[in-house]
């Protein structure tokens, strides 16, 4: 990675996220310069103390110097506390802003992106990578500048003591710095690999936690554990390498500075023999040599961390630069009331090579209900996704209310559609929040009314804390059918003009079955509907039927007409389904 690219990237992020924090940054700089002042003054005072003590100075003066030294030590601690407080404030405010931007961006990205990236990977971006950047936001500039000045200050002091010592130590600092940077550049790829390995691990973990039930029920636990062990084993090897490099850097700098101290002491001893230096000055040189180490290491650390953070910055910028494939429309208005749905010669595939839908044309009048049937994998769910514009067709047009969906604002179109998926997602939150999706402005009466309409009044009555009862996703109290009814209530509250229901294919017990039917009946009342139907009872709601076969329209027409025609595929499906039910 070219350093100037890194710095440019860093500057861009810094300017953007630190601008609102500039007052805090000024405060941080002031604190840092005071800290440096204290660091430089302390050895000077100590050296004077030693010289006065060894030359028999008066007790009063010595006490004053001792008290002054203690005061400086206390001030140094106070400044360190203040610095931590301000720096944490700055870095959290800036990184939280960046996190928010990333989350907003992730929500804007379309289904294609989310299919290609696991939630764990995205968590690592939003949390791991941003976390790596946290200290950069607060400390990088101030630290590099501050430590640079401290370094110059200490070297200046050494020149002031004796130019030979100053010159020798300047040469030493340059050599040490170059040596440390060399090692760093060799070590950087290991650190990048370490971050990637951690992202892979989180990706793995989130995927398997999400599929916990399937894993348990299919007895795949042993396989998951083995896979987990494999991922961790490879992570260990990578981390060990990265840590070893990190340690090599610490060891090198310690070794180098031990050499530096030895060099400084040897030089001082020679000059002491000459009578050029006092013992207090030698102490000062010793302290200064020690003091050179901290800023040199810190500048090295900052530069090294910047390299590490560069990988994070690259990934964050790349993520922010990823544009959704589905581009928001210019804002054509949709007509009021129930929406018609038209698919005009639609072709669609998720990837480049396989077409999932071919030649699909349907025209659903406002207020009518379309039942979509067909074998598993025939493209039924895919068709509903196109109506919500999760994807754009490769060819052909999808129209809502007669308007090309690509011309409408995504938010407006989606606000008019209510979707119940096969796999309803309930949040670990109260019943109220699950229904309103965290919109506090919806009054409780409306929520209760919606639940009542959906036939869930009894269910609500049994809940210990009513609307405040917490729902635990995947808990035994809520079956797939009940979850769908809750999702229907959620949608009823939004009062959409088109309802799309991808029916759960699981069989329901008779009571839940009745519940789902009441819910459906009321939800579809006065709205256009598309139901991906798996069961015979549900098909009965449809005015029109679309039979999909391998992504193509096999039959399309009024339900009654198709059912009455004994040669139709739909009539055939009905016969099979009736036999299944009656057996
Ligand atoms: N996000 C996706 N990315 C890639 N391929 C997908 C995606 N979703 C579905 N597919 C593929 O598209 C085809 C049609 O899937 P779709 O879910 O639309 O069928 P379906 O008729 O609804 O099936 P089911 O009745 O089982 O729900 C399948 O071969 C499936 O593997």
Q: Are residues 459 and 312 in the same domain?
A: no
Q: Residue 423: which residues within 8 A CB-CB, separation 6 or more?
A: 504
**Beta carbon of 376 within 6 Å of any ligand 1 atom:** yes
Q: Are residues 285 and 251 in the same domain?
A: yes
Q: Is the pLDDT of residue 303 over 90?
A: no
Q: Are residues 350 and 419 in the same domain?
A: yes
Final residue of a structural domain among 290, 321, 352: 321
Q: Is the pLDDT of residue 137 over 80?
A: no
**Beta carbon of 378 within 6 Å of any ligand 1 atom:** yes
CA dist., res. 314 & res. 312, Å (int)? 5
Q: Which atom of ligand 1 is nearest to the CA of 111?
A: 1
CATH number, residue 117:
1.20.1560.10
CA dist., res. 580 & res. 561, Å (int)? 23
Q: Are residues 184 and 148 in the same domain?
A: yes
CA dist., res. 93 & res. 99, Å (int)? 10
Task: Quote the pLDDT of residue 510.
Answer: 72
Q: Are residues 397 and 481 in the same domain?
A: yes
Task: Quote the pLDDT of residue 547.
Answer: 92
Which residue range forms the structural domain that includes residue 289?
3-321
Q: Is the pLDDT of residue 581 over 50?
A: no
What's the mean pLDDT in 40-67?
Answer: 84
In a domain, 326, yes or no: no
**Beta carbon of 350 within 6 Å of any ligand 1 atom:** yes
What ipTM did this prediction achieve?
0.95
Q: What average pLDDT does the chain have?
A: 85
For residue 502, the SS3 value is strand
Task: Quote the pLDDT of residue 455.
Answer: 84
CA dist., res. 565 & res. 556, Å (int)? 13
536 C-alpha to center of ligand 1: Å?
21
Q: Are residues 317 and 345 in the same domain?
A: no
Q: Which among 374, 379, 502 is the best mutation to test ligand 1's pocket, defined by most ligand atoms within 8 Å of the CB?
A: 379
**Beta carbon of 384 within 6 Å of any ligand 1 atom:** no
CATH number, residue 441:
3.40.50.300
In a domain, 383, yes or no: yes
Q: What is the pLDDT of residues 221-238, one digit of tens each?
A: 888 888 889 988 999 999
**Beta carbon of 380 within 6 Å of any ligand 1 atom:** yes
Residue corresponding to tokens 């953070």: 309
In a domain, 420, yes or no: yes
> Which protein residue has the closest C-alpha to ligand 1 atom 28?
377
280 C-alpha to center of ligand 1: Å?
81
Q: Are residues 25 and 107 in the same domain?
A: yes
Q: Work out whether the CA dihedral 548, 551, 552, 553 comes out positive or negative.
A: positive
In a domain, 333, yes or no: no
In a domain, 336, yes or no: no
In a domain, 328, yes or no: no
Q: What is the pLDDT of residues 446-474, one digit of tens each?
A: 999 998 888 888 888 888 888 898 887 65
What's the mean pLDDT in 495-502?
Answer: 92
Q: Are residues 235 and 314 in the same domain?
A: yes
- β-partners of residue 500 are 419, 530
Neighbours of 183 (CB within 10 A): 18
Q: Are residues 53 and 100 in the same domain?
A: yes
Q: Please tell me the total count of domains within the chain.
A: 2
Q: Residue 548: which residues within 8 A CB-CB, separation 6 or more?
A: 360, 372, 373, 374, 378, 379, 380, 383, 554
In a domain, 332, yes or no: no
In a domain, 329, yes or no: no
CB 409 within 8 A of CB 379: no
Q: Is the pLDDT of residue 475 over 70?
A: no
């Amino acid at each position: 990675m070219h350093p100037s690219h890194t710095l440019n990237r860093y500057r861009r992020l810094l300017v953007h996220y630190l601008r609102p924090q500039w007052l805090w940054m000024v405060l941080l700089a002031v604190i840092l310069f005071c800290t440096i002042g204290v660091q430089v003054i302390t050895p000077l005072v100590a050296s004077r103390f030693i010289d006065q003590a060894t030359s028999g100075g008066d007790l009063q003066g010595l006490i004053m110097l001792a008290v002054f030294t203690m005061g400086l030590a206390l001030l140094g601690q106070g400044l360190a506390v203040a610095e931590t407080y301000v720096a944490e404030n700055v870095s959290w405010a800036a990184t939280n802003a960046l996190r928010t931007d990333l989350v907003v961006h992730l929500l804007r990205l379309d289904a294609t992106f989310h299919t290609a990236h696991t939630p764990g990977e995205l968590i690592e971006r939003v949390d791991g990578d941003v976390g790596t950047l946290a200290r950069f936001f607060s400390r990088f500039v101030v630290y590099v500048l501050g430590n640079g000045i401290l370094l110059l200050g200490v070297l200046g002091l050494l020149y002031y003591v004796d130019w030979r010592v100053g010159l020798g130590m300047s040469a030493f600092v340059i050599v040490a710095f170059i040596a440390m940077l060399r090692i760093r550049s060799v070590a950087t790829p290991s650190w990048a690999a370490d971050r990637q390995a951690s992202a892979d691990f989180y990706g793995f973990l989130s995927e398997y936690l999400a599929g916990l039930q399937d894993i348990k029920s299919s007895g795949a636990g042993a396989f998951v554990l083995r896979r987990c062990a494999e991922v961790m084993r490879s992570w260990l090897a990578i981390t060990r390498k990265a840590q070893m490099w990190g340690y090599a850097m610490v060891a090198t700098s310690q070794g180098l500075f031990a050499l530096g101290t030895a060099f400084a002491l040897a030089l001082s001893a020679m000059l002491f023999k000459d009578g050029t230096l006092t013992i207090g000055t030698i102490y000062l040189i010793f302290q200064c040599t020690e003091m050179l180490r901290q800023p040199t290491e810190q500048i090295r650390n900052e530069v090294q961390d910047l390299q590490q953070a560069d990988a994070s910055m690259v990934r964050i910028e790349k993520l922010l630069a990823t544009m959704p494939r589905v581009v928001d429309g210019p804002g054509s208005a949709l007509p009021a009331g129930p929406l018609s749905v038209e698919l005009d010669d639609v072709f669609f595939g998720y990837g480049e090579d396989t077409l999932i839908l071919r030649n699909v044309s349907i025209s659903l009048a406002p207020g009518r209900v379309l039942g979509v049937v067909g074998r598993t994998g025939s493209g039924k769910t895919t068709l509903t996704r196109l109506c919500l514009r999760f994807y754009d067709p490769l060819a052909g047009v999808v129209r809502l209310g007669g308007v090309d969906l690509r011309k409408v604002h995504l938010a407006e179109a989606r606000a008019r559609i209510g979707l119940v998926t096969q796999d309803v997602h309930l949040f670990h939150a109260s019943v109220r929040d699950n229904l309103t999706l965290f919109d506090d402005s919806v009054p409780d009466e409306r929520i209760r009314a919606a639940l009542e309409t959906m036939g869930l009044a009894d269910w609500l009555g049994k809940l210990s804390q009513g609307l405040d009862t917490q729902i635990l996703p995947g808990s035994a109290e809520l079956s797939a059918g009940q979850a769908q009814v809750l999702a229907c209530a959620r949608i009823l509250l939004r009062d959409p003009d088109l309802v799309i229901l991808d029916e759960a294919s699981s069989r329901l017990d008779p009571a839940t079955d009745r519940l789902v039917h009441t819910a459906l009946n009321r939800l579809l009342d006065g709205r256009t509907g598309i139901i991906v139907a798996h069961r015979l009872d549900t098909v009965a709601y449809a005015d029109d039927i679309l039979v999909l076969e391998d992504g193509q329209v096999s039959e399309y027409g009024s339900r009654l007409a198709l059912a009455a025609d004994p040669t139709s595929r739909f009539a055939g499906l009905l016969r099979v389904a009736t036999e299944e039910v009656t057996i």
